């Protein structure tokens, strides 16, 4: 992935948020991190929503895992090793 974080896709921004949080995270935590660090801006300039985070994660099951036993759900990267 490019080191330039100003041109990330939404998928890449979610991935970076999870990596930097260093743990599985809720959609709200991911959204807050993406907003706080300006990792993704929609072309139309409208604010990113929690529903878009959830939808993108569900759209990429090869890259993101969902722990549906937790409430709220926890999202992580597929295959990520934990310490």
Please give the model's pTM, rounded to 2 decimal places.
0.86
What is the C-alpha to C-alpha distance for residues 19 and 65, in angstroms, rounded to an integer?
13
What pLDDT is attached to residue 18?
96
pLDDT tens-digit map of 30-75: 999 999 999 998 888 888 999 999 999 999 999 999 999 999 999 9
Q: Residue 40 in contact with residue 34, Cβ under 8 Å?
A: yes
pLDDT tens-digit map of 1-38: 444 555 799 999 999 999 999 999 999 999 999 999 99
Q: Which domains does the chain have, with CATH numbers?
A: 5-77 (1.10.10)
Torsion of CA 63, 33, 28, 20, to 10 degrees: 40
Residue 36 half-sphere exposure toward CB, CA atoms < 13 A: 10
């Amino acid at each position: 992935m490019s080191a330039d974080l100003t041109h990330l896709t939404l998928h890449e921004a979610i991935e970076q948020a999870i990596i930097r949080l260093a743990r599985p995270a809720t959609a709200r935590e991911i959204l807050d991190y993406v907003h706080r660090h300006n990792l993704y801006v929609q072309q139309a300039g409208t604010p990113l929503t929690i529903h878009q985070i959830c939808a993108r994660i569900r759209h990429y099951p090869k890259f993101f895992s969902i722990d549906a036993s937790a409430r709220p759900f926890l999202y992580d990267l597929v295959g990520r090793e934990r310490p």
